[in-house]
Amino acid sequence: MDTTTFRATDGFPHTSLVGVTGPEQTLAVQGDPQAVLPLASVTKPLTAWGALVAVDRGLVDLDEPAGPAGATVRNLLDHTSGLPMEGEGPLKSPGERRIYSNAGFDALAAHIADAVGMEFADWMLREVTLPLGMDRTDVTGRPSAGALASIEDLLIFGREVLRPTLIPAALRDLALTVSHPGLRGIVPGYGSYPDNQWGLGFELKDSKSPHWMSDTLPPETAGHFGALGSFLLIDRSRDVAAAFLSGVPFGEEHKRIWPALTEEIVARYGR
């Protein structure tokens, strides 16, 4: 493992923990890999993985009703349920628009909990974090945005996405493929896009610009960022995953460094 400094983080005025992994092992770390910080919305890919484990076990179906009337588990996973960022009343009919929704992911977790017969945090601990060895991850907060983890643990999860062990590769492929294409929607902090592509719990880069990922990354690059200055990046074309934690509210300094950092990461460590 390379203990390194990433040039793109020069001048960043906050903590900047960075990690990069290939499918077998960690490739590089900047900062303390075991320091635990809030994930904010990077919680969502973890929650999605827990939901997909339930799908693979036959306990839940992607197209069964869940959330507001007319919505399904798939709608909750890809932000097309019509639910707002926060609150219970839908703003649109399911499938009409991509509305980024914390409420939708909390509803998803509640639905999974009912289906599996236990609290969602217990399901995540038993079926995701413990089997993967994510010992520094706390999933007892909101399923939409309340987890805490270390860079080390996020890289373990990145390796799981690159080479899944808890779900079939075909189900992983579905999660990283655009779901309900052609829908307008907002990427928080960046703006509205006519085709705001999203998979099941993962955002897809596509041609969105400006964006937190570098414009040089392939359209199929997947990931998520969070409102407390965190991100998870999955570039399957180069067989690398990367994570960033800062523990401070997302702002202009993150927007300044992240495109250059994601480009630096894939240039230095991509296959």
Q: For the segment 140-163, what is each residue's pLDDT rounded down to a tens digit?
A: 999 999 999 999 999 999 999 999
For residue 218, give the nearest of 206, 201, 233 by alpha carbon. Answer: 206
pLDDT at 8 over 80: yes
| 230 within 8 A of 73, measured Cβ to Cβ | no
| 65 within 8 A of 71, measured Cβ to Cβ | yes
| 20 within 8 A of 269, measured Cβ to Cβ | yes
Per-residue b/e over 194-230, b at no fewer than 16 CB within 10 Å? eebbbbbbbbbbbebeebbbbeebeebbbbbbbbbbb
Residue 15: alpha-carbon gap to chain centroid: 20
| 7 within 8 A of 264, measured Cβ to Cβ | yes
pLDDT at 4 over 90: no
Residue 170 to residue 172: CA distance in whole angstroms: 5
Q: For the segment 217-249, what is each residue's pLDDT rounded down to a tens digit?
A: 999 999 999 999 999 999 999 999 999 999 999
| pLDDT of the residue at 1 | 59
Q: How many beta carbons lie within 10 A of that of residue 189, not counting itself?
A: 14
Which alpha helices (DSSP H) does 88-199 contain, by range? Answer: 102-116, 120-124, 130-132, 151-162, 169-175
Q: For the segment 50-97, what is each residue's pLDDT rounded down to a tens digit?
A: 999 999 999 999 999 999 999 999 999 999 999 999 998 999 999 999
pLDDT at 105 over 90: yes
| pLDDT of the residue at 168 | 98
| pLDDT of the residue at 139 | 98
| 250 within 8 A of 189, measured Cβ to Cβ | yes
| pLDDT of the residue at 271 | 82
Is the pTM value of this prediction over 0.75? Answer: yes
Could you give the 3-state DSSP secondary structure of residue 167? coil
| pLDDT of the residue at 3 | 77
- Per-chain mean pLDDT for the chain: 97
Fold annotation for 2-269? Beta-lactamase (3.40.710)
